[in-house]
Structure 1
Amino acid sequence: MSIQPDSWIKKMCKENNMIEPFLDHQVSEGKISYGLSSMGYDVRISDEYRIFTNVNSSLVDPKNFSEDNFIERKGPHCIIPPNSFVLAKTVEYFRIPKDVLCICVGKSTYARTGIICNVTPIENEFEGNIVIELSNTTPNPAKIYSNEGIAQFLFFKSDTQPETTYKSKNGKYQGQTTIQVAKIKK
């Protein structure tokens, strides 16, 4: 298994629509960078957010996560409350190949300000927008910018075809285009 470079990412996007919309270069002037990099792809965060709140004092239970734990916001930025988190989704829609595992890593620009992006594997043959989990580890409110870079995706190609895929297992988040909260398969 090896990490795939920009030439492979570009080829997969042109031939298989692996990432839509796809930018074959990096945008960085005056913005938190996004687009194709030498060994990955920097995704953008959309302008839709689900901000964690304790206003309703709902229990945090990953097997039965209450929608009451979030308030929804849409706009050019999002303010994450101190010591809290937000769910958002990528602007980009993904179609991960059968023999590829994608890993999401946070951008250093945000990490250096205490905003942490959860490292999430995107399994082979997953299709959809990616839900990004962002934590504000500081005691101060933190600002996230919509339609700018939020994380880098790294693509690892297997030397052999797997027996199962996210699609073949009917993955619970397959085809998502909205911000999905934690859920278990029923």
Structure 2
Amino acid sequence: MILSDKTIKKLLNNKELEIYPLDDIQIQPASVDIRLGNTYTIVEDTSSNIIQLSGEIRYKTIQSDKYLLMPGQFVLATTMEYFKLPNNMTAFVEGRSSIGRLGLFIQNAGWVDPGFEGEITLEVFNASRCAIELQAGRRVGQLVFAQLDQDADNPYRGKYQGQKGATGSRIYLDNELQI
């Protein structure tokens, strides 16, 4: 079940769901607006021009209130907000239509697991023919919350728990699943 603004406000007031910083205006009828933080991360070039999923990937991180995203460029960004989800709730990251209509794709690789705590790393891509200026504090998407039928047996305690800033892939830590 998707949570309404009334339920979101109740959970926030009871500290069952935590989001900070949060302005009341961010709470929409069935979502919470998310804003860009000031951290951007890009994959560093390699001598072979090949990213190998089995090894640690090197990144360059930039802190700035503004970032110029060139056409065809991909960057990791972070939310301004820090989230703490209870063990019986999940969330989906959705880009804003107004942003998508400019050719700016805001994506998250899947949903936010129950029990997750941290800033959310966003995958940002400029599909436009023009550069797009990203600015910290700009609303770029929304988080849609859904209630689980019961607490998760294994809430999230993974490699991104507690992350702050635009966090690069840690896929090299996935030793138990080799495909």
Q: Which range, TM-score by smaller chain?
A: 0.7 to 0.9
Partner of 2:64: 75
Q: CA deviation at 1:52?
A: 4.7
Partner of 1:30: none
* Kept in 2: contact 1:52–1:85 (CA 8 A): no
Per the alignment, do residues 63 and 150 of structure 1 end up closer, same or farther by CA in structure 2, a change over 3 Å counting? farther
Q: Map 1:51-130 to 2 at 5 A.
A: 51-52=42-43, 54=45, 58-67=49-58, 70-119=59-108, 120-130=110-120
What number of residue pairs does the alignment pair up?
A: 171
2:20 maps to a residue whose letter is: E
Partner of 1:19: 19
Per the alignment, do residues 18 and 24 of structure 1 end up closer, same or farther by CA in structure 2, a change over 3 Å counting? same
* Kept in 2: contact 1:59–1:66 (CA 8 A): no
Q: CA deviation at 1:97?
A: 1.0
* Kept in 2: contact 1:63–1:182 (CA 8 A): no
* Kept in 2: contact 1:13–1:22 (CA 8 A): no
Provide the secondary structure at the position in 1 that maps to 2:168: coil
Q: CA deviation at 1:144?
A: 1.5
Q: CA deviation at 1:57?
A: 5.9
Decide which of 162, 167, 173 is 1:180's aligned counterpart.
Answer: 167
Per the alignment, do residues 56 and 44 of structure 1 end up closer, same or farther by CA in structure 2, a change over 3 Å counting? farther
Partner of 2:31: 40
**Aligned mates of 1:18, 1:83 — CA distance in 2:** 35
Unaligned segments of structure 2, at least 5 residues? none
Partner of 1:9: 8
* Kept in 1: contact 2:43–2:57 (CA 8 A): no
Once structures 1 and 2 are overlaid, which stretch shifts more, 108-117 or 158-167?
158-167
* Kept in 1: contact 2:3–2:31 (CA 8 A): yes
- % of aligned pairs identical? 26
Provide the secondary structure at the position in 2 that maps to 1:19: strand
Per the alignment, do residues 138 and 42 of structure 1 end up closer, same or farther by CA in structure 2, a change over 3 Å counting? same
- With the length of structure 1 as denominator, give the TM-score of the two structures: 0.83
2:117 maps to a residue whose letter is: E
* Kept in 1: contact 2:86–2:114 (CA 8 A): yes
- With the length of structure 2 as denominator, give the TM-score of the two structures: 0.86
* Kept in 1: contact 2:39–2:61 (CA 8 A): yes
